[in-house]
Amino acid sequence: MATEQTTPVKKYLPRLIVLVIVVAAAFYGFQSYRYNQHYETTDNAQIEGSTAPVLARVAGYVQQVSIEDYAAVKRGQELITVDPQEYEVALQQAEADYQQTLADIQTARADLQNAQASYRNVQQNLKVTQSNADVQSLRVSKAANDLKRDENLYKGQSLTQKQLEDSRNNSEVQARQFEANVQQVGLAKTSEGVAQANIAKAQANILKAQALLKVKQAAIDNAKLRLGYAKITAPIAGKIGKKNVVVGQYVQPGQNLFTIVNDSTFWVVANFKETQLEHMRVGQPVDVKIDAYPDLDVKGKVVSLSEATGAKFALLPADNASGNFVKVTQRVPVKIEIENPAKYKGLLRAGLSTDVAVKVQ
């Protein structure tokens, strides 16, 4: 039986293949080593975007929904209408209360004018009464002097008994009339005090009504505000997610109806291991590869590094003081700004997975 002859090619071909593989592996390893000397990479990264929740500000039944799922909206665009009848009635009631308070102010001002007029009349009456008392005081003095003169004349028998008695009666009448005038002066002064009190009361009523008017105006403003909240508008421009509201649904204040994503501003948050941060600095260039668009070349730069690891923001942060501590490499969020974001408008989506490479040297 003849043996097959081994040619040089067949003899050295396996060795050549192994050599090529070894050289290729060495070259790839060398290139990877050089690349890793200049770049820090991670695939633990996602595209992030600014979002704004659309919340109900007042309670009520949804009357109208003007958008569909994933629709584009503009800032200030009306999205949902809550039945406004309850808030319209509240506004009408507040306006009616305001008008009633205005009428109360007018009434209080009229009362003040009446009180002031009454005060002027009382003052005039007091002057007249005081003048009468002053005149009567002179009459009392004159009657007293006449009585003394008549008494002296009577002693000298120059005056009859009847004339003396008439002089005494006149003196007593003038004295009593003076007392009456003095009492009238006292009553007039009391009336003056009452009139001043009425003025003060009317002024206090005006101030009270004016303060109440401010409260009523605030009630009107609040009613208008709540009526305005019945129309729910977009707080930012962007695209909505899935809406969680339908016509006829009852909503509560603070209820999240859906979320709007700003489709013009996106960035990347990459979670690097703590061992990768030694040479990482703000402003370093970044290559971003998006899993959804593998051929898309996206450039960016580092804009900030978190002051804490991701574990510190967890709902239940780990307590390293416990006895079962196991050292785990921590990750630090790094924010990466996308350059020329308008170039990728319509392609980027919040939450897309990415691979990032930061050039650190």
Q: Is residue 190 part of a domain?
A: yes
CATH (domain of 342) = 2.40.30.170
Q: Give the CATH number for residue 108.
A: 1.10.287.620
216 shares its domain with 162: yes
Average pLDDT on 149-166 reads 77
- Give the residue numbers spanning the domain of 116: 85-227
Q: Are residue 175 and residue 223 in the same domain, yes or no?
A: yes
- Per-residue confidence band for 311, with pLDDT thresholds at 50, 70 and 90: confident
The Cα–Cα gap between 267 and 339 comes to 9
pLDDT category at 5 given cuts 50, 70, 90 is: low
Residues 117 and 212 in one domain: yes
**94 and 166 belong to one structural domain:** yes
pLDDT given at position 166: 79
- In this structure, the answer to whether residues 110 and 211 fall within a common structural domain is yes
Query: Same domain, yes or no, for 335 and 215?
Result: no
pLDDT tens-digit map of 100-147 = 999 999 999 998 898 888 888 888 888 888 887 788 788 878 888 877
In a domain, 115, yes or no: yes
- Assess if residue 60 is contained within a domain: no
Confidence band (pLDDT; 50, 70, 90) for 4?
Answer: low
Higher-confidence position of 325 and 55: 55
Question: Residue 2 has what pLDDT?
Answer: 45
Which of 17-26, 170-179, 265-274 ranks highest by mean pLDDT?
265-274
Choose the final residue of a domain: 227, 251, 286: 227
Task: Give how many domains the chain has, as a whole number.
Answer: 2
Per-residue pLDDT at 1: 42
pLDDT in tens, 14-66: 777 877 888 788 777 766 666 667 888 899 999 998 889 999 999 999 999 99
Q: Are residues 164 and 281 in the same domain?
A: no
Residue 118's Cβ-count burial label (10 Å; 0-12, 13-18, 19+) is middle
